[in-house]
Amino acid sequence: MRLTLQTPLDMHLHLRDGDMLKNVAKYSARDFAGALIMPNLTPPVTTIEAVNEYKKRILEACGDENFTPYVSLFFKESYTPRFLEQAKPFISSIKLYPNGVTTNSEGGVTDIDTKRLSPIFEAMSELGIPLCVHGETDGFVMDREREFGAVYRKLSDTFPKLTIIMEHITTKESVELLKTHENLYATITLHHLLITLDDVVGGLLNPHLFCKPIAKTYEDRAALLTVALNAHEKVMFGSDSAPHPVSKKECCGCAAGVFSAPIALSALAGLFEKQGKLTNLQAFVSDNARKIYNITPPKKEVVLEKTEWTVPAAFDSVVPMFAGQKLAWSVVSQ
């Protein structure tokens, strides 16, 4: 049994920089036609020059693969409408991080004041630049995304022409926002479709499944599965694949992030087939994203075959999701 995906896209990807970029970029470039690359480096990507230089390093790390990196700017309160106009040809979105809520988010926004930040959001609306948001407060860890819903509602109502992407949603409340606010969209990760908090801390702690936003309840996962498996037009795949060296995961103070890039399409094919929704995978991993972001990536066919394989213990010293486990589908050609 074979499945051919046309131009699969990963609309939320961390490739890091330096040696880590060189180690992991090839796995996304092999299986995907393109990806939206997150800008939370150290220092973050905040200038046009930094965007272009980072894109150049990504393409070098991808070698000869047919892969398009769509690079995002790290949201800064100092951006002006003139700067945004100049940046538009080089970027695909701007990523807003509340200060300190996740990896390398220091220097993010401390107060998302719609009045004070109105010039930026209005300019983005007019220029058609999507706003991607890591939607968490600094409250109790299980409530952070739910609490941030009020911010999404205010942004959506105040700037109705602004395309707002709720990144890596994890709760049923976020799913409901898709239905009530026309300009809200969302990415959903592989791991949030498959795990709950039980898988992370219900037995022995599994550091390689620890991520932010943290995995939630069975009810929350069911809501995500409903919209993803049915390829709801306002959701798209974003792996949030976030590699860390073993020394940063298997330690006290474990870093947040699940490395799923090398196994994402295989695992998604297994999930969608098991639920009788395999024909919807194309829309979830490509068609919806192209419409939401209004992009036309180069054509690329990725063929998967129902052939069982065992996920390696590590890919270039980075431990992946499902390490040592068997998956039913394999990527066989690009």
91-122, pLDDT tens digit by residue? 999 999 999 889 888 889 999 999 999 999 99
Q: What average pLDDT does the structure give for the chain?
A: 97
Residue corresponding to tokens 């898709």: 178
Annotated catalytic residue 240: yes
For the whole model, what pTM was predicted? 0.97
Q: Say what the pLDDT of residue 33 is.
A: 98
Q: Say what the pLDDT of residue 171 is.
A: 98
In percent, the amount of the chain with pLDDT more than 90 equals 97
Q: Considering only CA atoms, which of 11, 15, 19, 9 is closest in space to residue 58?
A: 15
- Cβ partners under 8 Å of residue 287, min gap 6: 231
Over 80: is that where the pLDDT of 334 sits?
A: no
The catalytic residue among 138, 240, 287, 316 is 240
Residue 54 token pair: 């980072």
Average pLDDT on 271-278 reads 98
Over 80: is that where the pLDDT of 333 sits?
A: no
Query: Which CATH number describes the domain made up of 9-296?
Result: 3.20.20.140
CA dihedral 70→150→46→51, nearest 10 degrees, is: 0
Over 70: is that where the pLDDT of 288 sits?
A: yes
Asked if omega into 245 is within 30° of 0 (cis), the reply is no
d(CA 247, CA 252): 10
Residue 173 token pair: 């409340």
